[in-house]
Amino acid sequence: MSLFVQQSEFADPIPFEFVERAEPHAGPGEVRVRVSAAGLNPVDWKIAISPAMAEMFGVSLPNAGFGNDFSGVVDEVGEGVEGFAVGDRVFGGLRGFAVAEHIVLPVSDGGENPVHTPDGLDDVRAAALEVAGHTADAVVAATALGKGDTVLIGGAAGGVGVLAVQLALAAGATVIATASESNHEFLRELGAVPTTYGNGLVDRVRALAPQGVDAAIDLQGTETVEAAIELGVSPARIAAIAAHELPDGVIATGGRNATAGSLERIAQGLADGSFVLPIAATFPVAQLADAVALQRGGHVRGKVVVTL
């Protein structure tokens, strides 16, 4: 038998049910993973409490699970699968099913899911990469950052933000990063110039970047988008991932637009120490509700991860 966190309805508080189910098995073209860790994202709880969000992301009753990001070890390989063997360490995403002892997923053609976990990267960090890594890569690609650019990144200390800041710096950009003051020293250590979000943002950025701002990335609504427009940034170099409506020309993007090989590159950067990914907290799966509550509070630095 195998532990599976199930939902019989999409509701708030989230009605998690911890059930023992028969072990699933890998069919042709699939691998089974013994999950060791599952990273949380805001979209997980948004899906869990909203039938409309669940439908939008293809998560359906009666057998809905919870979570997306996972890491673990391949323990069954289906017919026809190449490139994966029992015992391989992997990480990736499986929408609506990651918080389970065993998951089965198709091996994608492009080799993007699952991805082999490089030596030197622990399962907790690997479990936090699929959504945040893809999305951080997508926003940096959308804004075409390069040497000489100054970019304003709003919401820079969260799961997507910490990776986006580092990818932007690696691309050669100067990064002005918004966060609460408690995160400023951390962002400074990464190499960014921190400032607070909220009233007066435009003036603070003008003072920090008298040379001007070339691009902007908004990871939390539209405050950064609006500030960037006021600062004269071209909408074609402003990207956002969490806004309902955007001014004309601003790029709405997300993990789906990540460039090929992005997860592998980020994982390798974490393994060799050129990138860091803070883990705000880990929780045993029995405390999933506490883990989700912390994530949902909206002020974690980096990621929250559940272990199985």
Ligand X SMILES: NC(=O)c1ccc[n+]([C@@H]2O[C@H](COP(=O)([O-])OP(=O)(O)OC[C@H]3O[C@@H](n4cnc5c(N)ncnc54)[C@H](OP(=O)(O)O)[C@@H]3O)[C@@H](O)[C@H]2O)c1
**179 forms part of the interface with ligand X (CB under 6 A):** yes
Q: What is the DSSP letter of 100?
A: B
**Among 183, 195, 222, 262, contact with ligand X (rule: CB under 6 A):** 183
Contact letters (x/-) for ligand X, 70-109, by CB under 6 A? ----------------------------------------
Q: How many CB atoms lie within 10 A of CB 53?
A: 15
Which pair of tokens denotes residue 180?
A: 């609460």
Torsion angle, alpha carbons of 74, 103, 113, 264, to 10: -60
Contact letters (x/-) for ligand X, 191-220, by CB under 6 A? ------x---------------------xx
Q: How far is the CB of 39 from ligand X (least distance, A)?
A: 10
**133 forms part of the interface with ligand X (CB under 6 A):** no
**Among 43, 94, 99, 201, contact with ligand X (rule: CB under 6 A):** 43
**298 forms part of the interface with ligand X (CB under 6 A):** yes
**Of 93, 69, 72, 99, whose CA–CA distance to 5 is shortest?**
99
**Among 121, 139, 157, 270, contact with ligand X (rule: CB under 6 A):** 157
**278 forms part of the interface with ligand X (CB under 6 A):** no
Q: Are 171 and 192 in contact (CB under 8 A)?
A: no
Q: How many CB atoms lie within 10 A of CB 208?
A: 16
Distance from C-alpha of 217 to C-alpha of 221, rounded to nearest angstrom: 10
**Among 231, 241, 251, 292, contact with ligand X (rule: CB under 6 A):** 241
**Which is closer to ligand X, CB of 23 or CB of 290?**
290
**Which is closer to ligand X, CB of 199 or CB of 211?**
199
Which pair of tokens denotes residue 232?
A: 């004269």
Q: What is the DSSP letter of 114?
A: S
- What residue type is assigned to position 4 of the chain? F
**Which is closer to ligand X, CB of 101 or CB of 218?**
218
Please state, in angstroms and as integers, the Cα–Cα distance from residue 206 to each residue in 141, 210, 227, 245, following that order.
Answer: 24, 5, 10, 25
Angle between helices 262-271 and 159-170 (to 10 degrees): 90
Query: Where along the sequence are the contacts to ligand X (CB under 6 A)?
Result: 41-43, 131-132, 135, 154-155, 157-161, 178-180, 183, 197, 219-220, 223, 241-242, 254-255, 295, 298-301
